[in-house]
Every structure is written in structure tokens, then in C-alpha cells.
């Protein structure tokens, strides 16, 4: 696939690099430094290159939105036409100093985003892992160790594309249901961050869901 990266920081830089290493065409965009975008593209190799948000969007099958919540409107505006595009968002709707969610309980950042870009298909994914795990997960996948990664969205075909990217990064994709489930995923993302950055384990923390039988067998 062609993947446009909108926001090439901790998440966008690493995920874009791994998408390129998995064979996808990647355009890194939306940074204050053009040199940084070019360096990311060079290090990622494959079919990765630097571009403007508009170029990233024009060619993309999937756009990864990885900006702070306060930058969402600007990033969408710079991206331009998004008719029929799949937007995979890892952005959590945080306040300026990242101490709390500014959208919660009765809606979610992912649903707000879908309202801002009604012509696109939004999938929420990658917002429940710290960026520090991504390279380790990618490397461990070839040895068979796959943590879970939860995603949600309303459009089946878009979710299939997101699940492919999730698998390519090394996770076992767990479909959590429609986009409104982001109301629970986004606080879960904060729980993971809390455990990763405040707990004893350090930031290299991922999670695994296990099913213990089904009600049929009770």
C-alpha cells in the first residue's frame, strides 16, 4: 500500500519506518524540519520519501495521523482532499500539557475526527502502545512473539487495511468493533502509558489479550 504519514514524530517516524521496511510506499510529512523528514526517509529505505502533507494524502491508500490533538485541524487542512481516504489515527485527544483527555465518556477523539473529515474512513489504532515498543515488536514478530493491538472503525474495508498494517508492524490485530469503541480505547491508551512511564516496567511495555474459553463451554 501507499501510506502517508501526517506527523513524523515519535509515533509517525517509527511506524512509517516500519511500514517502509515491510514493503509499503511511505511519504513522511508534517514536521517543522524538512531535513528531519528527509533523514527519516533515508533511514527507512525502501520506497520511503519526504513530502508535503498534500503529497502524502494525494498518493495514499492509508494516511497515518500521528499529531498532537491540538494540531489535528491544521494537519487535516494541509492534507487537503480526503475523499474516500482511510485515516488510521493514533492521536489521543489530550489537553496541551498531556495531563487529561479532552474528549471522553460520551464521545472520543476518533469520532470527533470522523466528524471533522466526513469524506474519509477513520480507524483508531496504534494509540494503545508506547512508541518505544514498536521496533522491538517488529523484530520479535519474526521469532513468533506477537503482542495484541486493539483497533476499531465503522468501515470493513478500511479496517482490513489497518489490520494489515498492524500485522506488518508485528502485532496480533484485535478488532474491538465500531468507531464508538474508541471511547474505551482512548482511556485504555492512557492506562498503558501510565503503566509504561510511571510503573516499574519502563516504556518498553506491550500487552497480550488471552481468551479463556467461551460461555458455550461453561
Ligand X SMILES: NC(=O)c1ccc[n+]([C@@H]2O[C@H](COP(=O)([O-])OP(=O)(O)OC[C@H]3O[C@@H](n4cnc5c(N)ncnc54)[C@H](OP(=O)(O)O)[C@@H]3O)[C@@H](O)[C@H]2O)c1
When the beta carbons of 31 and 108 are compared against ligand X, the nearer one is 31
Distance separating alpha carbons of residues 186 and 208, to the nearest angstrom: 17
68 forms part of the interface with ligand X (CB under 6 A): yes
- Give all strands (DSSP E) within the chain, no chain letters: 2-6, 25-29, 47-50, 62-65, 86-89, 121-124, 148-153, 172-175
**Min. distance of Cβ 22 from ligand X in angstroms?**
19
Is residue 134 within 8 Å of residue 169, measured between CB atoms?
A: yes
What track of x and - describes contact with ligand X for positions 8 through 27 (by CB under 6 A)? xxxxx---------------
Run of H or E including 194: helix 182-198
66 forms part of the interface with ligand X (CB under 6 A): yes
**Min. distance of Cβ 88 from ligand X in angstroms?**
11
Site residues for ligand X, 88-117, by CB under 6 A, read 90-92, 94
39 forms part of the interface with ligand X (CB under 6 A): no
67 forms part of the interface with ligand X (CB under 6 A): yes
47 forms part of the interface with ligand X (CB under 6 A): no
- DSSP state, 132? G
Angle subtended by helix axes 34-44 and 10-21, to nearest 10? 30
Which parts of this chain interact with ligand X (CB under 6 A)? 7-12, 30-33, 36, 66-69, 71, 90-92, 94, 127, 130-131, 189
Amino acid at each position: 500500500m501507499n501510506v502517508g504519514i501526517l506527523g513524523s514524530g515519535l509515533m509517525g517516524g517509527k511506524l512509517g519506518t516500519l511500514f517502509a521496511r515491510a514493503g509499503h510506499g511511505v511519504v513522511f510529512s508534517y514536521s517543522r524540519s524538512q531535513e528531519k523528514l528527509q533523514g527519516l526517509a533515508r533511514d527507512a529505505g525502501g520506497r520511503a520519501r519526504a513530502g508535503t502533507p498534500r503529497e502524502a494524502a494525494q498518493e495514499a491508500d492509508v494516511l497515518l495521523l500521528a499529531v498532537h490533538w491540538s494540531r489535528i485541524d491544521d494537519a487535516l487542512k494541509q492534507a487537503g482532499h480526503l475523499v474516500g481516504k482511510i485515516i488510521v489515527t493514533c492521536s489521543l485527544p489530550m489537553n496541551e500539557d498531556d495531563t487529561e483527555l479532552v474528549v471522553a465518556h460520551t464521545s472520543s477523539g476518533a469520532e470527533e475526527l470522523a466528524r471533522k473529515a466526513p469524506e474519509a474512513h477513520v480507524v483508531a489504532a496504534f494509540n494503545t502502545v508506547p512508541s518505544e515498543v514498536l521496533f522491538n515488536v517488529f523484530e520479535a514478530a519474526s521469532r513468533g512473539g506477537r503482542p495484541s493491538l486493539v483497533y476499531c472503525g465503522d468501515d470493513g474495508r478500511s479496517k482490513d487495511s489497518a489490520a494489515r498494517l498492524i500485522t506488518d508492524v508485528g502485532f496480533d490485530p484485535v478488532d474491538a468493533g465500531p468507531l464508538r469503541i474508541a471511547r474505551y480505547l482512548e482511556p485504555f491508551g492512557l492506562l498503558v502509558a501510565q503503566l509504561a512511564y510511571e510503573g516499574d516496567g519502563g516504556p518498553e511495555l506491550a500487552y497480550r489479550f488471552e481468551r479463556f474459553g467461551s460461555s458455550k463451554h461453561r
